[in-house]
Amino acid sequence: MSEPTGRTARMDSVRLAGLRARGRHGCLPAERELGQEFVVDVTLFLDTAPAAASDDLTKTVDYGALALQLVRTVEGEPVNLIETLADRLASDCLAYDLVDEVEVSVHKPAAPIPLPFDDVVVTIRRARG
């Protein structure tokens, strides 16, 4: 079996789960006016071996800086669909050159559904083009 060309075949992951931020996303006027809490989970797929070998933060993703960017996106320009929000968050993650692929889940636990429910979650997966 031959080695793949380009990036390494190793796909480790770094997961940031339960990041909370208030946003004004949704189709209803009340969602735009009042806002609500969104919860974001991201899993970054990358090769962590260089960072582990060197103990060097610059060879991995600074998840603190990433968390700040993700919150800015959630708190930023409103969109109608959480699918759109998830796509924007995936783009934030893929802006890190070391990230080959990302899985993003956006939770909308206070979605305007007139029935008892626990959560609404959209999960997308995007890879570097």
Distance CA 110, CA 116 (A): 11
Which secondary-structure segment (H or E) carries 85? helix 82-94
Sign of CA dihedral 17, 18, 21, 25: positive
Q: Give the whole-angstrom CA distance, residue 75 versus residue 113.
A: 22
First to last CA, the chain: 24
Angle (CA) 13-97-76 rounded to 5° is: 90
Query: Which positions are catalytic?
Result: 108
> Under a CB-based contact definition with an 8 Å cutoff, are residues 22 and 75 in contact?
yes
